[in-house]
Chain A
């Protein structure tokens, strides 16, 4: 039950929270503000916070210079593609683990989790060489495969925890009602699990979008997503702050919005259901 909290305590807590929240958020805010400055003003000392000539020219320049749209579409294709492929594998697996568990199901779940612990550097060299020999370097297909495998354990786990919350009796009722397994999945389980499947999709798109080990190491240009696009600003263009800011803003904005929607699922997905 909500109760009255003393006004003083509430004021202090609110002020402190807003201050800290603002400080943490500031680098992002600063990037967005800087993206609307001219290069000259971006460098000015003392820095200009709000009172400067706002301009959107940087966004145009960034797109012109390096074809932002190609990187964005690569990011979209890689993150959504790898997540969809993973869902295709994970939905049946999670259904089986949640509703038709065998003796080994728990071990299997733990084992899937353990594959996630493999540090990517342990696999970098052979994967790089295999990709080179198969002509998969800098290809979207190859990268989708890697990102799919990276995130498959998390996706299975998340779906499993969501499916677990659906009472098995409802699926049994469908079986009593004469539904085949396929109809049981399509008419009963899937509609009930829509929120869970949607949040799994959301979180994994975010993870794949920001993945910066494989995307940096296995792409050069054709399949390069936004992570690589930004990395190309490390030098010497990094000195053009306004353009760097514009590029950064364009790279983070979509996922920041998605991420804010996915907060709750994030906790659950990244802790493998240990914290809800």
Chain B
């Protein structure tokens, strides 16, 4: 509620942000769609020609494409599962009366602030190196054969390091949510003599439903876009995941048309997720 004069000023104040964001969204997208319909190779400039859906057909017949989508989805699901389950348990633990809780919380949250390239290199070399990595040493010292992570299980290796970064995020958000649980509600449950398991199931979990959904959706957005970890470790070749494949096709193979088609697929995929996320956050806005 405000006067007309204030509302007019308001429109002027919002306009710059809206205009730049609109351009940022629409111009690259339109160009990507346009390129995806062309035969356009950077090594062969001046010979662009319209090829309709050829790039999409080419992509759809390329096994690397499906491998990349598969890897993208596996990465998302695995990291989600680890961070939600682990994050809930860890948040419950950190909500207990712990000596030095603030320090523990600092240690737990730290990985989230680590630059993806750092995390990738540290994990790849110092932990997962098949000969001198810490994991290899641990396995040898209990008499097992060390694993060559990036040769044998490249996706698992990436999942471990990405989950290490996102578990803290889930923990932090769920801990914040648990701590906002009404103290009186806790006391009422205690007066009712609710056993811990039922307390978790009937009181805590419903309270966490919304933050968990938020975590799932936000992590999905970011996880679909994981790039640096795969770029730096080179795991899985071109089919590392969808963003990496697009980069590979466009900036390493110079196939602008093909890469654009892959980009559009990524946009569609993200939009399916975004649809649900936007709706949910919008509903929270009402409250």
Contacts and interface: CB of A to CB of B under 8 A. Distances in A.
Interface of A: 1, 5, 9-10, 13-14, 16-18, 20-22, 24-25, 27-28, 30-31, 34, 43, 45-47, 89-90, 92-93, 95-97, 99-102, 106, 108-110, 112-130, 149, 152-153, 156, 181, 206, 209-210, 212-213, 216-217, 226-228, 230-231, 233-234, 238-239, 241, 244-245, 248, 251-252, 255-256, 258-260, 263-264, 266-267, 270-276
B97 interface: yes
B48 to A, nearest CB: 12
Nearest to A112: B21
Given A230-B115, A272-B281, A124 B108 contact: no
Q: Which 8 A-B pairs have the closest CB atoms?
A: A100-B10, A259-B113, A96-B10, A123-B28, A117-B274, A126-B31, A92-B13, A212-B228
B193 interface: no
A115 B267 CA distance: 11
Interface in B269-287: 269-271, 273-274, 277-278, 280-282, 284-285
Given A14-B100, A20-B90, A267 B167 contact: no
Contacts of B93: 13, 16-17, 20
A184 B30 CA distance: 41
B257 to A, nearest CB: 9
Contact of A21 (B9, B13, B108, B225): B108
Given A10-B98, A14-B99, A118 B29 contact: yes
A227 to B, nearest CB: 5
B246 A124 contact: yes
Interface in B93-135: 93-94, 96-101, 103-119, 121-127, 132, 134
B243 A121 contact: yes
Given A89-B16, A270-B169, A96 B11 contact: yes
B282 A106 contact: yes
A258 B106 CA distance: 12
A247 B214 CA distance: 35
Interface of B: 2, 6-7, 9-11, 13-14, 16-18, 20-21, 24-25, 27-29, 31-32, 35, 90, 93-94, 96-101, 103-119, 121-127, 132, 134, 137, 141, 164, 167-169, 172-173, 176-177, 180, 183, 210-211, 214-215, 218, 221, 224-225, 227-228, 231-234, 242-243, 246-247, 250-251, 256, 259-260, 262-264, 266-267, 269-271, 273-274, 277-278, 280-282, 284-285
Contact of B267 (A119, A255, A276): A119
Contacts of B231: 216, 231
Given A17-B98, A100-B9, A271-B214, A122 B266 contact: yes
A128 B254 CA distance: 12
Contacts of A116: 221
27 contacts: A13-B97, A14-B100, A17-B98, A17-B104, A27-B111, A27-B123, A96-B14, A97-B10, A99-B2, A100-B2, A110-B282, A119-B225, A119-B269, A125-B32, A125-B260, A126-B27, A126-B32, A209-B115, A212-B115, A213-B227, A228-B117, A248-B121, A248-B122, A258-B113, A260-B106, A271-B215, A271-B218
Given A89-B20, A96-B9, A18 B104 contact: yes
Contacts of A118: 25, 29, 267, 270
Contact of B173 (A34, A90, A275): A275
Contacts, number: 314
Contacts of A119: 224-225, 243, 263, 266-267, 269-270
B225 A256 contact: no
A43 B109 contact: no
A126 to B, nearest CB: 4
Nearest to B215: A271
Contacts of B100: 14, 18
Contacts of A263: 105, 109, 172
Given A112-B17, A152-B17, A274-B284, 4 more contacts: A24-B111, A117-B271, A122-B263, A259-B109
Among the interface residues B125, B269, B282, which one has the most CB atoms of the partner chain A within 10 A?
Answer: B125
Contact of B13 (A93, A106, A234): A93
B79 to A, nearest CB: 15
A56 to B, nearest CB: 19
Contact of B24 (A149, A231, A252): A149
A233 B7 CA distance: 53
A110 B17 contact: no
Nearest to A146: B24
A127 B17 CA distance: 19
A63 to B, nearest CB: 17
B90 A216 contact: no
Nearest to A2: B97
B172 to A, nearest CB: 6
Given A25-B110, A108-B18, A259-B113, A227 B266 contact: no
Given A92-B13, A102-B11, A213-B243, A113 B125 contact: no
Q: Which of A21, A252, A273 has the most CB of B within 10 A?
A: A21
